Amino acid sequence: MIASNTDHNSVSVLDQVGPNIIHHVSNSDISHPIIHFPKIFGIDFSVTKHVFMLWFVAVIVMVTIVIPVQKYIKSNSKRKSRWVTMIEYIVDLINDFISRPNVGTKWVMVWTPLFLTFFFFILFSNLIGMIPIFDFIGFVDRFVLHTDQDSVINQLLHGGVTATGNFNVTAGLATVTFFAIITAGVREHGFFKHWMNLVPHGLAWPVYIILIPIEIMGLFVKPFALTMRLAANMTGGHIALLALLSLMAIIGEMFHSATAGIGVAIVSVPLSAAISGLEIIVCLVQAYVFTLLTAVFVGMAINVHH
Per-residue confidence (pLDDT) for residue 9, from 0 to 100: 45
The candidate with the shortest Cα–Cα distance to 259, out of 244, 270, 268, 248, is 248
DSSP character string of 211-237: HHHHHHHHHHHHHHHHHHHHHHHHHHH
- CA distances (Å), 86 to each of 63, 76, 123, 281, in order? 15, 18, 15, 18
> 145: which DSSP letter?
I
DSSP state of 16: H
Confidence (pTM)? 0.86
- The residues facing 35 across adjacent strands are 47
> pLDDT tens per residue, the chain (306 residues)?
334 444 444 445 556 666 767 767 777 766 677 777 878 887 777 888 888 899 999 999 999 999 999 998 888 777 888 999 999 999 999 999 999 999 999 999 999 999 999 999 999 999 998 887 877 787 787 787 777 776 777 777 777 788 999 999 999 999 999 999 999 999 999 999 999 888 888 778 888 888 889 989 989 999 999 999 999 998 888 787 777 777 776 676 666 666 666 776 777 778 778 878 888 899 999 999 999 999 999 999 998 864
* Contacts (Cβ under 8 Å, ≥6 apart) of 278: 237
Give CA–CA dist 59/114, Å, rounded. 17
Report d(CA 195, CA 94) in Å as an integer.
Answer: 28
CA gyration radius for the chain?
24
From residue 127, how far is each of 46, 57, 121 by CA, in Å? 25, 10, 10
pLDDT recorded at residue 173? 96
The predicted pLDDT at position 1 comes to: 37
Query: Assign residue 159 a region: left if phi > 0, alpha if psi is -120 to 50, beta otherwise?
Result: left
